Amino acid sequence: MAQHVDLYDTTLRDGTQMEGISVSVDDKLKITQRLDLLGVQYIEGGWPGSNPKDAEFFRRAQSLKLKNAQLAAFGSTRRAGVKVEADAQVQALLDARTPVITLVGKSSELQVTRILETTLEENLAMIKDTVAYLKGKGRKVFYDAEHFFDGYRANPTYAVQCLQAAAQAGASCAVLCDTNGGTLPNEVVEIVTAVRKATGIPLGIHMHNDADTAVASSLAAILAGVTQVQGCVNGYGERTGNANMLSIISNLQLKAGYQCVPDEQLRQLTQVARYVAELVNMPLNKQAPYVGESAFVHKGGLHAAAVAKMEDSYQHIKPELVGNASRVLVSELAGRANVQYKLNEMGLKLSSEQVRELVELVKQQESEGYQYEGAEASFELLVKHRMPNYIAPFILEDFRVTVAQSKAARAQTADGSLLAEATVKVTVGGKIFHTVAEGNGPVNALDAALRKALLQFYPSIQRVTLTDYKVRVVDNGNGTGAVVRVLIESTDGSTRWHTVGASTNIIEASWLALQDGLEWWLLRQGVEKV
């Protein structure tokens, strides 16, 4: 029978304390529903006594029909010298009407005397009084022992007394918090083992990632006997973040014999990572284990050759288990296996000699500033342009760009910015189209002029929009005469693709990437008039 540990997600509280993250109440409700579907047991919604947004969240969350998770409200023990029933933030926890309340309290002698500025005895009373009061109101109570590991190292007797005070008052679980994030996995095992022997209390673990060991320490604590693990989706959290809940789930379920979530939801893990990243408006780390875009990418020629023969030769799991996919990149490090793999993906057949020539061409292009590993649409066109039966959907004859700097020209724009004008001459379907367009910059003007020509022949191209534009200087030593690389991301609303251009002229580099983006999409549409 698979082993079990309770998953306690704190993305909506601890995770939102990460620099750059701010979520609306609507977003918090959406994340709650997605985490419930994933199958976590507890979802910490926030601190209802700290701000109006969290209070509103708990009010609206009462109408949610959660199937797997229980909602938890987070708050602290009563203030020193204040009766628990008179403490406003304790009452706010009750007003949240959640089945679970998680209380944070000090477990470090130094924190009690220097930060709370009270006595060790009063802190124990604060823990007991608050837990007992909330328990008496019918709530399940978890006790988050803040600064536990630092406190244990300095005074293990008092740190354990704090846990015992919570347990004696009715807490269902005492959570050992590495608040400063500096405890290593071997210490976690030693301390968890000692605390279990000394108390017999059900324990949880809450790790921060300041030493880059939060996931490892969480796993170590679970294997040492804790029954609840706390973490955040994508490792969000204060400073360097909390333990990554998605990595914990993957490691436990795929490596350690635990059943954390249903298998069908495990296969949605990558989707969960992207969904939450989108809602909190943070780019998902491409190198994130299991769920990152690069987690199962193969770039080196030796690796690609092996993966082509045996998929798992350079992968520790099948990426489909967590909803991800393997990819092979084409770069200057690529061998014939990389290129052949990509050709197979595209359904193209080339002779051995043609593949060899293509490998050399890629290496030559990348030496001149191109980079195809992030621009697979341009690589596909690089291949097709060298096929004897290829017919391009349009052919550039000429383009010209001017940027006006006069006061009269500036007056033509709403904000007084420079006026750019592009003239493009292209051949489409045997006809030459000569168009002119203005834009708020040379690239925007080029894009507008090219579209004006193509729309007459391919009306559906209006669905394509440019969503990202990046410029990078490739050889910094040449100053303004350096080669620049332009990467463009485009979308039609359902598909995203990336193209690249390189030149000592930034306008030409931009044109090459822009042209590839539209040409690739037209090919995918069968270049039929719509």
DSSP label at 487? Answer: E
Q: Report yes or no: 133 and 171 within 8 Å, Cβ to Cβ.
A: no
Q: How far is CA 17 from the centre of its chain?
A: 16
DSSP letter string, 188-217 = HHHHHHHHHHHH---EEEEEB-TTS-HHHH
407: CB partners within 8 A, 6+ apart: none
Co-location of 139 and 273 in the same domain = yes
CATH classification of the domain holding 129:
3.20.20.70
The residues that bridge with 174 in the sheet, in sequence order, are 143, 203
Dihedral-angle region of residue 516 (phi above 0 means left; psi in -120 to 50 means alpha; beta otherwise): alpha
Domains held by the chain: number: 3
Mean pLDDT of 421-425: 92
Which two three-digit tokens encode residue 120? 């060790």
Residue 9 in 3-state DSSP?
strand
> Does residue 288 have a pLDDT over 90?
yes
Instruction: Give the C-alpha separation, 485 to 208, whole Å.
Output: 38
Of residues 509 and 49, the one with the higher pLDDT is 509
Co-location of 240 and 312 in the same domain = no
Instruction: Give the C-alpha separation, 224 to 239, whole Å.
Output: 27
Q: Is residue 285 part of a domain?
A: no
Co-location of 253 and 321 in the same domain = no
Q: From the CB of residue 117, how many other CB atoms can be counted at a distance below 10 Å?
A: 8
Query: What's the whole-model pTM score?
Result: 0.73
Co-location of 271 and 333 in the same domain = no
> Does residue 105 have a pLDDT over 90?
yes
Of residues 54 and 350, the one with the higher pLDDT is 54
> Does residue 56 have a pLDDT over 60?
yes
CATH classification of the domain holding 456:
3.30.160.270
Q: Is residue 462 part of a domain?
A: yes
Co-location of 107 and 200 in the same domain = yes
Smallest CA-to-CA distance from 449 within 463, 438, 460, 464 is with 438
Co-location of 210 and 62 in the same domain = yes
* Tens of pLDDT, residues 377-418: 888 888 888 887 888 899 989 889 998 765 555 555 555 567
Of residues 396 and 373, the one with the higher pLDDT is 396
- Residue type at 378? S
Predicted local distance difference test score (pLDDT) of residue 529? 44
DSSP label at 177? Answer: E
Q: Is residue 383 part of a domain?
A: no
Instruction: Give the C-alpha separation, 111 to 232, whole Å.
Output: 25
Percent of the chain with pLDDT over 70: 89
Last residue of a domain, one of 253, 279, 305: 279
Predicted local distance difference test score (pLDDT) of residue 189? 98
DSSP collapsed to 3 states, 361-401: HHHHHHHCCCCCCCCHHHHHHHHHCCCCCCCCCCEEEEEEE
Within 13 Å and on the Cβ side, how many CA atoms surround 366? Answer: 17
Instruction: Give the C-alpha separation, 274 to 277, whole Å.
Output: 5
Co-location of 263 and 301 in the same domain = no
Co-location of 182 and 45 in the same domain = yes
Co-location of 250 and 136 in the same domain = yes
pLDDT band at 530 (very low <50, low <70, confident <90, very high): very low
Within 13 Å and on the Cβ side, how many CA atoms surround 271? Answer: 12
Co-location of 234 and 304 in the same domain = no
448: CB partners within 8 A, 6+ apart: 422, 437, 438, 439
- For the chain, helix (H) and strand (E) counts, in that order, are 19, 16
Q: Report yes or no: 280 and 27 within 8 Å, Cβ to Cβ.
A: yes
- Residue type at 254? L
Cα 436–Cα 439–Cα 444 angle in degrees, nearest 5: 95
Mean pLDDT of 27-45: 96
Q: Is residue 333 part of a domain?
A: yes
pLDDT band at 64 (very low <50, low <70, confident <90, very high): very high
Q: Is residue 170 part of a domain?
A: yes
pLDDT band at 194 (very low <50, low <70, confident <90, very high): very high
Across 142-156, 248-262, 363-377, least confident range: 363-377
Mean pLDDT of 489-507: 89
Give the residue numbers spanning the domain of 125. Answer: 6-279
> For residue 59, what is the enclosing H or E element?
helix 52-61
Co-location of 64 and 193 in the same domain = yes
Which two three-digit tokens encode residue 251? 């490691």
Q: Which residue in this structure is represented by tokens 């925007």?
A: 444
Which two three-digit tokens encode residue 110? 């130094």
Q: Is residue 68 part of a domain?
A: yes
Which two three-digit tokens encode residue 513? 């990437």
Cα 460–Cα 461–Cα 462 angle in degrees, nearest 5: 90
Predicted local distance difference test score (pLDDT) of residue 36? 97
Last residue of a domain, one of 279, 309, 331: 279
Co-location of 360 and 270 in the same domain = no
Instruction: Give the C-alpha separation, 499 to 495, whole Å.
Output: 13
Q: Report yes or no: 80 and 118 within 8 Å, Cβ to Cβ.
A: yes
